[in-house]
A and B are shown apart, each in its own frame.
Chain A
């Protein structure tokens, strides 16, 4: 744990930098632009994450989430959510998580999570289904095989066998002979 984390004294803070958030009525989607990973937060996990301002304890977060969702959310749910948010790196690095119950095995955690509300607590990783494509795009493999005068200028495919990072287009970069998928 970092020095900063110790100073936080178990009051987690949500990560702000390098994330793009899409709030939907049923869930919250978070894209980590540093790691190119996407996560889907269920209602409780989303509310817990929103409440992590670095000043609230687990009990205070639970009270806030209960008020927000209009249903009782026990502190245990907050612990579980924080654990998952931490694993997904959605909390600030070095944030100290509030001390929770010691649950040994993964199975024990899963059982506890299911008992506390299943999906609403979950932090799912979003994976691109094969060939789900937003628009006409150039596969990264095709792009990198083209001579630089033939670059398509089209967005690079973010799905498929060799996905390019989102927001890139197939273009000439510097003095390279071949095209690249670049921002």
Chain B
């Protein structure tokens, strides 16, 4: 990692600039050639192709990106076939789920396949979580890979009744699917991006898209309401979308539009984007399994070392110019303690942090 990773991350950022728009400018071929493996790996291959689709004479670079776009478009069709069954299954038991991330944001891109997603995030009130889990586990399986959230994760600083009142209904085939209101969804996506250490560039494209496509009546007062440290992280994420990807921030309230980012933040995100061997949460061998292998502990700790963004969010620290290393050490210790207390836990890391 280091300067090389940062330079690669900058290429990724350049390729994705404006890629969520209906008619983006063409990307530079030189950037594409170098960044293609990272883009494919992070699920941004389709977006890269979208920006480069009118370039000619570069089939060896463009074809894998085009194939990624097609693959993601088919995966989207598969998901769209299965989501209604999962939603209906819950409704039949009197549980109204709210769909967030995934399809809820992918549907807003100019083409299916630009924003891939692997599972279906359904949010239900904490009181309904057990019944919802039973409903989804009952045979026959609904087919979709559902990530059921009992509670509203990063939005749990808001009353569930208000989340529901502001939610909207979107059509998916013959099914009416409830999705979060624009303010809640933007906040959820921003906090999710930051909590996971800003590792996936396509998540920042989501923020840029939602920011530019927000309705006229978007309520910024409500967007910034709630837990102050979460609000700061969300605002910082929006600012990152502007600085790294060129998201248009005109019309934002002054405190948001003029937010100055700490000097370490942009290089940290670019280094993360340019890190070729990064194994994100969910793809790692569980800690308990690593510990059975020689050198497993060291390897596991290296893979789980929190980046500055993750550590700042995990420690609920300010996004200021203080060095990040102390926060990273404390976050790592906190996760280690968490693992020691519950060694069978298959997913120590940011997923659990949100539920703390």
Known A136-B118, A152-B347, A169-B145; contact A131-B283, beta-carbon cutoff 8 A? no
Bound: A137/B119 CA distance, A: 9
| Inter-subunit contact A29/B145 (CB<8 Å) | no
Known contacts A135-B116, A152-B346; 18 additional CB pairs below 8 A are A31-B74, A126-B67, A126-B74, A128-B71, A131-B40, A132-B40, A132-B67, A134-B71, A136-B118, A138-B282, A145-B289, A149-B344, A157-B283, A167-B82, A167-B143, A167-B145, A183-B141, A183-B143
Q: Which of B15-40 contact A (CB under 8 A)?
A: 37, 40
Q: Which of A3-35 contact B (CB under 8 A)?
A: 20-22, 24, 27, 29, 31
User: Inside 8 A of B68's CB, which chain A residues have their CB?
Assistant: 128-129, 132
| Inter-subunit contact A150/B286 (CB<8 Å) | yes
Bound: A166/B82 CA distance, A: 12
| Inter-subunit contact A137/B67 (CB<8 Å) | no
| Inter-subunit contact B78/A166 (CB<8 Å) | yes
Contact residues of B with A, CB < 8 Å?
37, 40-43, 45, 64-65, 67-68, 70-78, 81-82, 102, 111-113, 116-119, 141, 143-145, 280-283, 285-286, 288-289, 344, 346-347
**Could you jot down 20 A-B contacts, CB within 8 Å?**
A38-B71, A126-B70, A126-B71, A129-B45, A129-B67, A129-B71, A132-B67, A132-B71, A134-B43, A134-B117, A136-B118, A139-B283, A151-B346, A152-B286, A153-B346, A154-B118, A155-B145, A159-B71, A168-B145, A183-B141
Bound: A158/B286 CA distance, A: 20
| Inter-subunit contact B282/A134 (CB<8 Å) | no
User: Does residue A133 face the partner (Cβ distance < 8 Å to B)?
Assistant: yes
Bound: A131/B64 CA distance, A: 10
| Inter-subunit contact A24/B112 (CB<8 Å) | yes
Chain A, 99-131, contact with B by CB distance < 8 Å: what is the 0/1 string? 000000000000000000000000000111111
| Inter-subunit contact B282/A20 (CB<8 Å) | no
Q: Which residue of A lies closest to B53 (CB)?
A: A26
User: Inside 8 A of A139's CB, which chain B residues have their CB?
Assistant: 283
Q: Which residue of A lies closest to B142 (CB)?
A: A183
| Inter-subunit contact A158/B75 (CB<8 Å) | yes
User: Inside 8 A of B144's CB, which chain A residues have their CB?
Assistant: 167
| Inter-subunit contact B37/A22 (CB<8 Å) | no
How distant is A124 from chain B, measured CB to nearest CB, in Å?
A: 9
| Inter-subunit contact A24/B73 (CB<8 Å) | yes
How distant is A153 from chain B, measured CB to nearest CB, in Å?
A: 7
How distant is B227 from chain A, measured CB to nearest CB, in Å?
A: 25
| Inter-subunit contact A152/B67 (CB<8 Å) | no
Bound: A147/B290 CA distance, A: 12
Which of A135, A149, A151 is in CB contact (< 8 Å) with B119?
Answer: A135
User: Inside 8 A of A27's CB, which chain B residues have their CB?
Assistant: 70
